């Protein structure tokens, strides 16, 4: 009986041992098929939303909107009877144009001048555009065609705070020396501030500094508008794919050291001797290497290779990688089109 018990105990331990070995083998097989993802950020140059004529060396920024008359407005609000006094300044449209010229010059794209003269009605600007361009030695005009500013005050959390919203409706236009024009942007900006209300008097306390508030409104609007007309650098995130294979792990380590030449050598070794799964990963990594150096055509070719490999039976189950490759290929096609636009803008 003792021997039999020993045999049963041994047999039980042996079965557990085999089960553990089987788990390790299964886990090892699965980890070989796993894809490890590492985000990688870099900058790309995106074209401006609008393309200005290529023969422009300098632009003139002009306001065609009359200065907003200064006034005081006292408003009483429903539940809390809160009172706020809002003041506007005469030179707000002019300040918007000056800020636009500053932001436009920051982009180092096309130099611009701020027109220091008096406001010019838009119709007159178009009629005398040639004279205005010659007198100021510019090849085009950016005009503030329309600008409306208003404030909305609403109560929140009874007797505790109120919110002030400024809504700005803006229209910019490009005017050529011939007087022909193109509306560039029609946009409404909303900026909000929150202020406490005194519990007893229901009066808004800590009123905003009007100059500071208007400065925020002006710079926010002009910065957004200026960068619609200039190519801008944008930070994007891509994925570096890896696995537990020797070459893929080595490539990932070289990328961490920012040595892309050695990393690519390992990816090319994978393309020569690796499994189909690793070849798909390596193809996408090589595509990323080309994209980060702005060689989008080559990036698209390698991405296409990855799509072809991922469609084979050997890569069954790599759905996430396949979706990523297809999305990336569409991005590359779009970037190739954007490059043609950039060539016209630079």
d(CA 227, CA 215): 18
17-64: per-residue pLDDT in tens? 444 444 334 333 444 567 788 899 999 988 888 888 877 888 899 988
How many other CB atoms are found less than 10 A from the CB of residue 41?
Answer: 9
150-163: per-residue pLDDT in tens? 766 665 554 455 55
Q: Is the per-residue pLDDT at 83 higher than 60?
A: no
Delineate the domains of the chain, giving CATH numbers in brackets: 33-47+233-345 (1.25.40), 59-230 (3.30.160)
* Locus of tokens 């809504």: 167
Q: Are strands 181-196 and 161-175 parallel, antiparallel or unpaired?
A: antiparallel
Q: What percent of the chain has pLDDT over 70?
A: 70
CA 164 to chain centre: 28
> What is the rounded average pLDDT of the residues 324-335?
96
What does the angle CA 290 – CA 295 – CA 297 come to, to the nearest 5 degrees?
Answer: 105
SS3 of 255-324: the string is HHCCCHHHHHHHHHHHHHHCCHHHHHHHHHHHHHHHHHCCCHHHHHHHHHHHHHHHCCHHHCCCHHHHHH
Token representation of residue 94: 């002019």
1 band by pLDDT with thresholds 50, 70 and 90: very low
pTM of the model: 0.65
Looking only at Cα atoms, what is the longest distance across the chain? 116
How confident is the model at residue 133, as a pLDDT? 92
Please list, in sequence order, all residues whose beta carbon lies within 8 angstroms of the beta carbon of residue 173, skipping any fewer than 6 positions away: 122, 142, 143, 145, 181, 182, 183, 184
* Locus of tokens 């050529």: 176
DSSP string over 168-232:
EEEEEEEE-TTS-EEEEEEEEEEEEEEEEB-TTT--B-SPPPHHHHHHHHHHHHHHHHHTTSS-E
Please list, in sequence order, all residues whose beta carbon lies within 8 angstroms of the beta carbon of residue 104, skipping any fewer than 6 positions away: 59, 61, 110, 112, 142, 226, 229, 230
Q: Is the per-residue pLDDT at 283 higher than 50?
A: yes
Token representation of residue 213: 């508030």
How confident is the model at residue 58, as a pLDDT? 87
User: With contact defined as beta carbons under 8 Å apart, do 335 and 234 qualify?
Assistant: no
How confident is the model at residue 80, as a pLDDT? 32
More confident residue, 209 or 5: 209
| For the ranges 2-6, 56-60, 114-118, 332-336, the one whose mean pLDDT is highest | 332-336
291 band by pLDDT with thresholds 50, 70 and 90: very high
d(CA 116, CA 94): 9
What are the Cα distances from residue 109, in Å, to 47, 48, 177, 304?
A: 11, 10, 20, 34
């Amino acid at each position: 009986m003792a021997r039999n018990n020993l045999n049963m105990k041994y047999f039980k331990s042996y079965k557990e041992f085999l089960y553990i070995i089987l788990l390790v083998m299964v886990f090892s097989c699965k980890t070989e098929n796993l894809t490890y993802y590492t985000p990688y950020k870099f900058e790309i140059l995106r074209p401006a939303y609008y393309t200005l004529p290529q023969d422009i060396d300098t632009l003139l920024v002009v306001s065609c909107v009359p200065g907003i008359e200064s006034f005081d407005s006292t408003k009483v609000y429903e539940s809390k009877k809160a009172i706020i006094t809002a003041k506007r300044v005469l030179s707000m449209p002019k300040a918007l144009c000056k800020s636009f010229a500053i932001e436009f010059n920051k982009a180092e794209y096309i130099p611009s001048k701020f027109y220091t003269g008096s406001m010019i009605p838009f119709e007159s600007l178009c009629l005398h555009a040639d004279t205005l361009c010659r007198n100021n030695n510019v090849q085009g005009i950016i005009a503030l065609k329309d600008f409306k500013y208003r404030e909305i005050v609403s109560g929140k959390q009874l007797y505790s705070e109120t919110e002030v919203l400024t809504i700005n409706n803006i229209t910019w236009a490009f005017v050529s020396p011939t007087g022909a024009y193109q509306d560039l942007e029609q946009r409404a900006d909303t900026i909000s501030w929150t202020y406490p209300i005194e519990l007893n008097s229901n009066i808004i306390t800590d009123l905003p500094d009007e100059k500071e508030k208007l400065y925020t409104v002006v710079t926010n609007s002009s910065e957004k508008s200026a960068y619609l007309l200039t190519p801008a650098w944008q930070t994007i995130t891509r994925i570096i794919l890896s696995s537990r294979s020797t070459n893929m792990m080595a490539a990932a380590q070289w990328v961490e050291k920012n040595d892309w030449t050695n990393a690519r050598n390992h990816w090319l070794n994978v393309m020569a001797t690796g499994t189909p799964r690793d070849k798909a990963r390596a193809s996408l990594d090589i595509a990323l290497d080309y994209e980060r150096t702005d060689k989008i055509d080559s990036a698209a070719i390698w991405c296409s290779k990855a799509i072809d490999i991922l469609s084979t039976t050997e890569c069954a189950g790599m759905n996430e990688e396949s979706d990523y490759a297809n999305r990336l290929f569409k991005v590359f096609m779009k970037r190739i089109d954007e490059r043609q636009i950039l060539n016209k803008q630079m």
